[in-house]
Structures are given as C-alpha cells and as structure tokens.
Amino acid sequence: MESTNNITEFILLGLSQNKKIKALCFLMFLFCYIAILGGNMIILISITYSQLIEQPMYFFLNYLALSDLCYTSTVTPKFLTDLLVERNIISYTSCMAQLFTMHFFGGIEILILTVMAYDRYVAICKPLHYSIIMSRGRCHAMVTACCAGAFIHSFLQSLLAISLPFCGHNEMDHYFCDIYPLLALSCTNKHRVGLLVVANSGMMGLITFVVLMWSYSFILYTIRAYPAESRSKALSTCSSHVTVVIFFFVPVLFIYIRPATTYPEDKVFALFYTILAPMFNPLIYTLRNTEMKNALRKVWCHKLFFI
C-alpha cells in the first residue's frame, strides 16, 4: 500500500451538529464519565484494600476496572470537549495515537473478560485443583499475556491505519478515530483492507465471544447437580459476567465483523462499548455480588471512620 498522505488533521463530525442536541449530549455523557471514573475507582480501592485481592476473580476484576478507566479515557474527554466547540479537529498524529490506545486498552478488556471466564470455569468445574491452577504467579502471567495480546492486536490495527493513503476530504463521520471511518476517507482498495480489519478485530472479537459463551454454557451445565444454595451463588456470579460480555461484545461484533462499510448507526453502537459498558460494569459487579458489597462497606466505613 502507498503511504501518500496530504492530510495533517481530521474534522470529526460527532454525533450531531445541532447545538441543543450537543448540549444535551454533553450533560448526559459528562454524567456517564463521572460515573465511570467514580465507579471503577471505588472498585479498584475496595479490592486493593480488602482481602478480596487475594482471590483470582477479584484480582482480575481489579484489572478490568483499570482497563475500563484507561479505555474510556482515550475517547470520552475529547468527545466531551468536542461537544462544546463549533469545529471538532484532531491532528493526524493524535488520531493515530487515539486509535492505538483505544484498541490496546479495549483488547486488554476483551482478554481479561476471557480470563475471568476461565477462572469461573476452573472454580466451578475443577474446584479441587483451583488453588493450583489459579496460583498468583499464573494469574500475573495471564494478565501479562492479555497485555501482550492486546499490544499485538493494536499494533497491527494501527499499522493498517498508518498505511492508508489520504488524498481527498478530511471530514470523518464519527466522534473518535477508528479504522473504518479512516478507511472511508482513504483512496485505496477498501475491500482488501476491510478483510484485514475483519481478520484482526472482527475475528478476535468473534472467537473471544464464542469461547466466552462456550465457557459459561459448560458452567451452567455443570452446576445443575449443585445444591440449591451453591447453584444460586454460581448463577449470580456467572450471570453478572454474561451480562457484561453481551453488553460489550454485541456492538463490537456489529461493527467489526462485517465488510468495510460505515453506517450512521455505527456511532450509536460505539457508545455502548466506549462509554455505556464501562459505566455499567461497576454496577453489575457490585450490586449483584455479596462479597463486593461487604468489601465496599468495610473499606469505605473504615476510611470514613478515620476521616
């Protein structure tokens, strides 16, 4: 592919050009971003300063909350700022940096969710070997592997974007830089590049989603013989994870598993995995989890007492 490029900046068209709609979106998504920061910080502090950090499930949940914070912060602050100004401009360098970091932290989140599903599988299906299989050293190795896998995915995605030649207009019909909106502006063989995007992002999302659904299906099949109380606890934990997985993966698959085309609806679907999913994750993992609620009470009551 040629690397010819006469564009130094892009104009982001955002969700809407209507000033009233932009003002309403600013207030709504500012609240969402504050909720994301507050909710995930509470999870990080509560797990770190409680005994839950010793359990693999909460060890991974800690990293999921951290990846949520980093992931949404690559998009949301710029998005909120753009809702307040008339002309939304992002430089070519900042655009490529945003694409890399978004896919890097998004890749970590996807892989951490997979590791969490594996943790639940081992805990429920192989309880006698759980402490050996999910040792602390192995947990650290899994997180490192998640970061390495996400870096490779993001590097390949960024390499595709940097290789795109731009020789036409620079108005991007989106609120952040991503590969398909960039591809729509390029003057290259979109079909060939689109297949590479599907092979990278699309297949990564699809394979991960299938593995996750298979894991939880196997878990549900296994817990049929459990006593009612144990079955209820396992169902509660797994249902929380499945809710997060569906809420995050369905929009991702809608966008990345198809050929190189862009639709106006893409921006709405992107809101689910860039802002809404990171906002609901803390609620799903705390309100439906007795251990997390107990840890929240102990940690924060202790802090308030000493204040």
Domains of the chain, each with CATH number or no CATH: 20-305 (1.20.1070.10)
The predicted pLDDT at position 264 comes to 77
pLDDT in tens, 180-210: 889 888 887 788 888 888 888 888 889 999 9
Residues 6+ apart with CB under 8 A from 150: 103, 104, 105, 106, 107, 108, 110, 111
More confident position, 51 or 177: 177
Structure confidence at residue 222 as a pLDDT band (50, 70, 90): confident
More confident position, 1 or 41: 41
**131 three-state secondary structure:** helix
The predicted pLDDT at position 2 comes to 44
pLDDT in tens, 129-161: 898 999 999 999 999 999 999 999 999 999 999
Q: For residue 5, list its beta bridge partners.
A: 166
Burial letters for 238-255: b for 16+ Cβ neighbours within 10 Å, e otherwise? bebbbebbebbbebbbbb
Structure confidence at residue 303 as a pLDDT band (50, 70, 90): low
Average pLDDT over residues 89-112: 94
The predicted pLDDT at position 300 comes to 63
Nearest to 115, CA basis, from 208, 193, 182: 208
pTM comes to 0.89
Cβ neighbours around 275 below 10 Å, total? 21
pLDDT in tens, 28-83: 999 999 999 998 998 898 888 888 888 898 899 999 999 999 999 999 999 999 99
Q: For residue 186, list its beta bridge partners.
A: 166
Structure confidence at residue 23 as a pLDDT band (50, 70, 90): very high
Phi–psi pair at 288, nearest 5 degrees = -105, 15
pLDDT in tens, 113-129: 999 889 988 988 888 88
Nearest to 276, CA basis, from 78, 13, 31: 31
Q: State yes or no: pLDDT of 3 exceeds 70.
A: no
The predicted pLDDT at position 124 comes to 84
The predicted pLDDT at position 1 comes to 41
More confident position, 4 or 27: 27
The predicted pLDDT at position 242 comes to 81
pLDDT in tens, 235-294: 777 777 788 888 888 899 988 888 777 777 888 889 989 998 888 888 887 766 677 777
